[in-house]
A = this chain, B = another copy of it.
Amino acid sequence: MVETKITAEPGTAQIIIEREFDAPRDLVFRAYTEPELLVQWLGPRDLAMKIEEFDVRDGGKWRYISTDADGNEYGFHGVFHGTPTPDATVQTFEFEGVPGHVALERLTLEEQDGRTLVRTLSSFQSVEDRDGMVASGMERGVRDSDERLAELLKRLQND
């Protein structure tokens, strides 16, 4: 079984998330950059996700809101830096619950034999920020998201 690998070396300000998907990288890139696909997999299963803005271009902004069963809302936003491509998509990432704590994400998609290795490098402004993100329970969100993305990619290829 394929599993998501999350690496957070002690004392560094980074998190590396890696997972291989059984799909060509152009399709994976579409799932990351087309809002109507993204909304189908990003976030934990028990939260509803709504995309407010998703402007995939150099300097373009994105924002989405996750809502839990009790109606609590969690907002996230960021800005794309450079033109997003399958080789590299760089963006900032902010959880609106802790304003002023900005992370930089670098997403790379690498294809081999029709499968795609997705790697996300998140760089924080301090080890404390990084540790705070790990402690927030992000792992559940990441694993849920990746399972849902694998299911979506399978559906899209079977269509």
Contact = CB atoms under 8 A, between A and B. Distances in A.
Contact of A13 (B79, B94, B123): B123
Interface string A95-108: 00001101110100
Interface string A70-111: 000000000101100000101010100001101110100000
B124 A123 contact: yes
This protein's copies in its complex = 2
A139 B103 CA distance: 25
Given A13-B13, A123-B123, A124-B123, A79 B59 contact: yes
A75 to B, nearest CB: 13
Instruction: Give the interface size class of chain A.
Output: 20 to 34
B104 A100 contact: no
Interface string A21-50: 000000000000000000000000000000
Given A13-B13, A13-B14, A59-B79, A125 B100 contact: no
A16 B63 CA distance: 30
A143 interface: no
Interface in A113-159: 121, 123-126
A57 interface: no
A110 to B, nearest CB: 16
Given A123-B123, A125-B123, A92 B99 contact: no
A61 interface: yes
- In order of increasing CB-CB distance, the 4 nearest A-B pairs are A123-B125, A81-B102, A79-B79, A82-B100
